[in-house]
Structure 1
Amino acid sequence: MPAEERLTELPDLPTTPGYAHAVAVTGKLAFISGQVAVDAKGCVVGVDDLGAQTRQALGNLHHVIRNLGADWSDVIKFTWYVLDASEVQTIRDVRDEILRPALGEVPNPASTLVQVAALFGPDFLVEVEAVVAIPGEASDV
């Protein structure tokens, strides 16, 4: 697996609440565009429901990740864009519901959450993008 090291506890820094401070990798990386809560027909899922939107956005992200030949354990960083950062616990709960079965006791990827004034559509509450280490790709460096 190309995600080789996840730093969660470092001297002089607090332990992270559910993510890694850093993830070291080898090999080829993929940068996945932000995913939102739309179904296969392009219809918004979970209007006014952050949990449902987070679940759908992660489902869409997982679909892209799997088509790269990767899985949740290969995600090295999430970037979250939300309308209301005070609702971060909802995002954490859904993220853990989805990632824990795949990661087990391995810490979550590195993560950044940014509160924004708006997303590209008026009904969207969350968008998530990821950086993924593609398995089986050797580095030439």
Structure 2
Amino acid sequence: MKELVVSKNVFVTDDFSQAMKVGDLLYLSGITARNEKGEILEKDFEAQTVRIFKNIESILKEAGAVLDDVIKFTVYLKDINNLGKFRELRNQFFSAPRPPSTAVEVTGLVPGAIVEVEVIVDCGKR
């Protein structure tokens, strides 16, 4: 059975779901640094990445999960040279062992975004 998961603290649109829980797994859409109004106020990579992790945290809270429940990352970067910085920032939010991760360089994201993160979460631990 599928269950929609929504955080009002993160931008919500009718175009796609923030997250969908299927069994014990939670699948998040690509999360950007948008605030609840859909605006990306942060311009630099570090600030956008921190905002993304806070947005992810907010969605996970709605599902009764925490960051350590993440089991897979996919990160989309407009500049692959930011991958090292992404890892440093990720390591501030996630303890070892860290989840498997895929990084993809892309030519474009939503206007203003320079990084986007998609995660899969195991909610069965809680």
Same fold (TM over 0.5): yes
Q: Computing the radius of gyration over CA atoms, which structure comes out larger, 1 or 2?
A: 1
Stretches of structure 1 that go unaligned for 5 or more consecutive residues are 1-26
Q: C-alpha separation between the residues in 2 aligned to 1:117 and 1:51?
A: 19
Q: C-alpha separation between the residues in 1 aligned to 2:69 and 2:93?
A: 14
Shift in Å, 1:31: 0.7
Stretches of structure 2 that go unaligned for 5 or more consecutive residues are 1-22
2:76–2:115 Cα contact (<8 Å) kept: yes
RMSD over equivalenced CA pairs, Å? 1.5
Match of 1:95 among 83, 90, 95: 90
Question: How many equivalent residue pairs?
Answer: 104
Describe how 1:63-78 pairs up with structure 2 within 5 A: 63-78=58-73
| 2:110 matched residue in structure 1 | 120
Q: C-alpha separation between the residues in 2 aligned to 1:98 and 1:73?
A: 9
| 1:4 matched residue in structure 2 | none
Q: C-alpha separation between the residues in 1 aligned to 2:53 and 2:41?
A: 12
Runs of 4+ in 1 over 4 A off after TM superposition: none
Q: C-alpha separation between the residues in 1 aligned to 2:46 and 2:125?
A: 33
Taking only the aligned residue pairs, the percentage that are identical comes to 35
Q: TM-score, normalised by structure 1?
A: 0.69
Match of 2:123 among 118, 129, 134: 134
Match of 1:84 among 79, 82, 106: 79
Q: C-alpha separation between the residues in 1 aligned to 2:70 and 2:122?
A: 6
Q: C-alpha separation between the residues in 2 aligned to 1:136 and 1:85?
A: 33
| 1:6 matched residue in structure 2 | none
Q: TM-score, normalised by structure 2?
A: 0.76
